[in-house]
A = this chain, B = another copy of it.
Amino acid sequence: MIIDCHGHYTTAPRQLEEWRKRQIAELEDSKHAPAKGSLGISDDEIRASLEGAQLKLQRERGTDLTIFSPRAMGMSHHIGNETTSRHWSEHCNEMIHRVCALYPQKFVGVCQLPQSPGVAPANCIPELERCVKEFGFIGCNLNPDPSGGYWKEPPLTDKWWYPLYEKMVELEVPAMVHVSASCNPNFHGTGAHYINGDTTAFMQFITADLFRDFPTLKFIIPHGGGAVPYHWGRYRGLAQDMKRPPLKELLMNNVFFDTCVYHQPGIDLLLKVIPADNILFASEMVGAVKGVDPETGFNYDDTKRYIDAIDWVSRADKEKIFQGNVKRVYPRFKTRSAKR
């Protein structure tokens, strides 16, 4: 079985986006009491939104199952306030739940959290519990920068985040560290903010003792770990200069990289540098890069091809990358499969 650990519902029926637009418009009206309301999306509309997109690509590319979460750009935690984020996150997560219920063999849910700038992350616990306990979700996406490109929250290693981590540990769910849209004109979203977020989070983990406090806490750093594997020598060297333990010991039981790197040499480097135990297969389709690479004739984000093309990684290691590690990083994946 081939599990893609990083897919977002980028093709949701238009009513979801329309609801969001109304919500944002209503923020202007101070007399309007925010309400969650409903979306009015039918099951058939959900099916139609997936059949020609994610499901078609799964079939074409030979991947079996996608760990699926709301659109990352759409989270935009910087908009409005805590209530804004709560209503929006609930709708987005309910959409994922419906997708997973319609296609239980094809999708497993991961939730968006109702983060909001300056609001203690403990506010996310009820929605996380709902998604895990009621919907059977197996993880969450954690935005290290709810301000959307201004980086005003404390680092991920700060005690500010600890109540959420306690709940994650208790529920046995990992977080993918995933920023959302950038409203800072310096940072292009998918071309700079995403990658910077990944790099930043990893370096935060190096400098603190988060995993001494939470030995079983797990994070997936997407987009191939940002700049990290390419600069692996830099990170090993910085940790060493700072008298930190070797990276392996410091964080490799807790930090994992996905394979959303969109060309062969990048995937080659990732698999060469990072232990197979720390890599999870992913494509982020339908996602950031949608085109066909004229150099290969295939989609840039068809990452399975790059891994298949490598002949110097053992079958056992590829098995870990394609599915074995998922079961370790997302312990609820197993429970869920058993139930099903």
- A residues lining the B interface (CB < 8 Å): 144-145, 149-151, 153-155, 184-188, 190-192, 195-196, 199-200, 203-204, 206-207, 223-224, 226-227, 229-238, 240-241, 261-266, 268-269, 272-273, 288-291, 293, 300-301
Contacts and interface: CB of A to CB of B under 8 A. Distances in A.
Given A200-B187, A265-B272, A273-B265, A231 B224 contact: yes
Given A192-B204, A237-B262, 13 more contacts: A151-B184, A188-B203, A188-B207, A191-B207, A196-B196, A231-B262, A232-B265, A233-B261, A233-B289, A236-B300, A237-B301, A265-B272, A265-B273
A235 B265 CA distance: 14
Contacts of A263: 231-234, 236, 273
Q: Indicate how many identical chains form the complex.
A: 2
A241 B291 contact: yes
Given A263-B232, A265-B273, A266-B269, A237 B184 contact: no
Contacts of A185: 154-155
B192 A238 contact: no
Q: What 4 A-B pairs are tightest by C-beta distance, nearest first?
A: A233-B263, A233-B262, A227-B227, A230-B230
A285 to B, nearest CB: 12
A282 to B, nearest CB: 13
Contact of A230 (B153, B227, B237): B227
B199 A186 contact: no
Contact of A234 (B155, B187, B261): B261
B186 A155 contact: yes
